Structure 1
Amino acid sequence: MSASAMTTRTERLTGTAVLWVFAASVLVPFIAITLAALQPAGAPVAGLSWPSPMHFENFRRAWTTAGFGALLRSSAVIALVVVPVGSLLATMAGYAFGTMRFAGSKVLFSFLLIGLTLPPEAAVIPLYYDLRQFGLTNTYWALILPLTGLYMPFGAFWMRAHFLSVPKELAEAARVDGASEWSVFWRIMIPTARPAITTLAMLFFVWSWNQFLLALILIQEPSRRTAPAGLGFFIDQNTRDTPMLCAATLIVIAPVVALYLIGQRHLIRGMTQGAVKG
């Protein structure tokens, strides 16, 4: 066997081993939480132990005790507004920065990217007073508006990178045929950007669904908080019943896991599309 073949085989085995390590680091905690959620109510949980019998009533108790019906509805309402609005605005901004040349475009894009470096914690206090002045605190808009703006720098950067990878000849040919800029955007660019937009939408959904800090400060009504924020209060009030806490955790993360399982191909395709186009 040649040295190059041995090197290739070693690299392949090393890559496979690394992937298995990362997969185990994700799956083992998830399996541990699932097994713990099926233990008897109030039972101490240590390590991985198979429950016999399985106590699925922990999920029912967690659902009713924490009021997850209202919490999940709040998270869904916020996500179902933030995702389409944020995706549309980010796509339009990315198209403008990626394909158009206008006065101050580089400065404006650099200014937009500053949002990627600013932590949300630095703006939450002034944000609270601004929203309270407009009477928006304790409403869904208190999260929808800030989250849409918070995700915009990454969204514009993501979509700009995609549109830069699209051959310019496509848009130029459409303009030569008399297509307006709006027609080029909707009929030529949007179809090519579907994988990138789908990936961006999935990321926006996960981020808005998992929102904790802003929901905790900007919304005081318990039933209007997001599911993760409600889970935080639920954990503080039920620190001794580990199986029910694990069941509550699984309820909160279930929509995100389901979304990933359904859209993993679109997510991977969107992540690799720019690299493939080079």
Structure 2
Amino acid sequence: MKISRLEAGFNYAVLSLFTISALLPLVGVVLSALTPRAEATGGLAIPSSLAWSNFKAAWAEGHFTVYMRSSVIVTVAVVALTVALASAAGYGFARLDFPGSTPLFFLLLIGLMLPAEAFIIPLYYNLRGMGLTNTYWGLIAPQVAQSLAFGTFWMRNNFKQFPTSIIEAARLDGASEWRLMWQVALPALRPAVLTMCLLLGMWTWNEFLIPLVMVTDESLRTAPLGMAFFQGRRSTDYALLAAGGMIVAAPVVIAYAFAQKHFVRGMLGGASR
């Protein structure tokens, strides 16, 4: 269906307005991060010179070496464990017929409806009783459990869309269900898996509440939590705060920039059919 020039122009005008609204705050943060500290006021202004040293100062004063290392460890572990468990569970729910599979799947989906705030206090006491607070496992295990419902739902839908003829042909050749999942289906579902990895990585990297409650040791603080403490110490140093914010956000932005094609393919279709 063709649309008129007037309608197309209106659509582009609306999209441009939303694009500017989304980019304007980001431009303000970038400009603040590059403004000399003596000139930074927190507003949207063009700096007289580009102070790249703000990033070095923010990294050193904010102890981001420690915080970024913790975030990388936690994010990689959560994504790897969730992908492995969600792939196995998703394949089981999509391709295996076992008693109670449908009620069990819907029971699992309750995890999508529960916010972390609803269970964070009993979770803290449970992990403290197990000696897992102030450890990496105290950060990793809750976030794996929190992500597993979405991961299973995502992989189940993609395994269901995978061509049944390929599955049946592999079964006739004697392939086990385990081999079917890892060597036949998953390689074809790579865009969907990469999309899930990117989403899980972004959510895990930005998680704030669980690290805030589960750890008090500075060496275990993740980047968003470390940024909050840095903000408390430098509440009026707008240039360093903006630089610190960009440091924390950079890994997610870079990951999306490199994986955006796979991300779009995974969101739109999953496996090639």
Bin for the TM-score computed over the shorter chain: over 0.9
Aligned counterpart, 1:163:
159
Distance in 2 separating the partners of 1:193 and 1:264: 16
> In the superposition, relative to structure 1, how do residues 268 and 21 fare at CA in structure 2: closer, same or farther (>3 Å)?
farther
> In the superposition, relative to structure 1, how do residues 178 and 15 fare at CA in structure 2: closer, same or farther (>3 Å)?
farther
Q: Name the SS of the counterpart of 1:123 in structure 2.
A: helix
Q: Name the SS of the counterpart of 1:64 in structure 2.
A: helix
Distance in 2 separating the partners of 1:178 and 1:209: 41
Distance in 2 separating the partners of 1:71 and 1:46: 25
Q: Which amino acid aligns with 2:2?
A: A
1:211 positional shift: 1.2
The question of 1:209 aligning with 2:205 is answered yes
1:82–1:148 contact (8 Å) kept in structure 2? yes
1:25 positional shift: 2.9
> In the superposition, relative to structure 1, how do residues 96 and 17 fare at CA in structure 2: closer, same or farther (>3 Å)?
farther
Q: Name the SS of the counterpart of 2:2 in structure 1.
A: helix
Out of 26, 30, 50, the residue aligned to residue 30 of structure 1 is: 26
Superimposed CA distance per residue, residues 80-119 of structure 1 (whole angstroms, 9 cap, x where no aligned partner): 1111111111111111111111100001000000000000
> In the superposition, relative to structure 1, how do residues 182 and 10 fare at CA in structure 2: closer, same or farther (>3 Å)?
farther
The question of 1:69 aligning with 2:65 is answered yes
Distance in 2 separating the partners of 1:134 and 1:200: 30
Percent sequence identity over aligned pairs: 44
Out of 267, 270, 273, the residue aligned to residue 271 of structure 1 is: 267
Out of 2, 14, 21, the residue aligned to residue 5 of structure 1 is: 2
Aligned counterpart, 2:148:
152
> In the superposition, relative to structure 1, how do residues 141 and 47 fare at CA in structure 2: closer, same or farther (>3 Å)?
same
Aligned counterpart, 2:114:
118
> In the superposition, relative to structure 1, how do residues 80 and 6 fare at CA in structure 2: closer, same or farther (>3 Å)?
closer
Aligned counterpart, 1:106:
102
The question of 1:130 aligning with 2:96 is answered no
Aligned counterpart, 2:221:
225
Point out the more displaced range, 157-166 or 16-25.
Answer: 16-25
Q: Which amino acid aligns with 1:152?
A: L
The question of 1:49 aligning with 2:45 is answered yes
Out of 159, 163, 181, the residue aligned to residue 185 of structure 1 is: 181
Point out the more displaced range, 185-194 or 255-264.
Answer: 185-194
Distance in 1 separating the partners of 2:246 and 2:2: 45
1:42–1:240 contact (8 Å) kept in structure 2? no
Aligned counterpart, 1:248:
244
Q: Which amino acid aligns with 1:233?
A: F
Superimposed CA distance per residue, residues 21-72 of structure 1 (whole angstroms, 9 cap, x where no aligned partner): 3432332211110101111214343543221211122112211111000000
Q: Which amino acid aligns with 1:34?
A: V
Q: Name the SS of the counterpart of 1:54 in structure 2.
A: coil
1:176 positional shift: 1.5
1:247 positional shift: 0.6
> In the superposition, relative to structure 1, how do residues 97 and 21 fare at CA in structure 2: closer, same or farther (>3 Å)?
farther
Distance in 2 separating the partners of 1:256 and 1:242: 22
What TM-score do the two structures reach when normalised by structure 2?
A: 0.94
Q: Which amino acid aligns with 1:269?
A: R
2:158–2:192 contact (8 Å) kept in structure 1? yes
Q: Which amino acid aligns with 1:190?
A: L
Q: Which amino acid aligns with 1:208?
A: T
How many residue pairs match? The answer is: 273
Q: Name the SS of the counterpart of 1:111 in structure 2.
A: helix
Q: Which amino acid aligns with 1:50?
A: I
Gaps of 5+ in 1: none
The question of 1:80 aligning with 2:93 is answered no
What TM-score do the two structures reach when normalised by structure 1?
A: 0.93
Point out the more displaced range, 152-161 or 170-179.
Answer: 170-179
Distance in 1 separating the partners of 2:6 and 2:161: 33
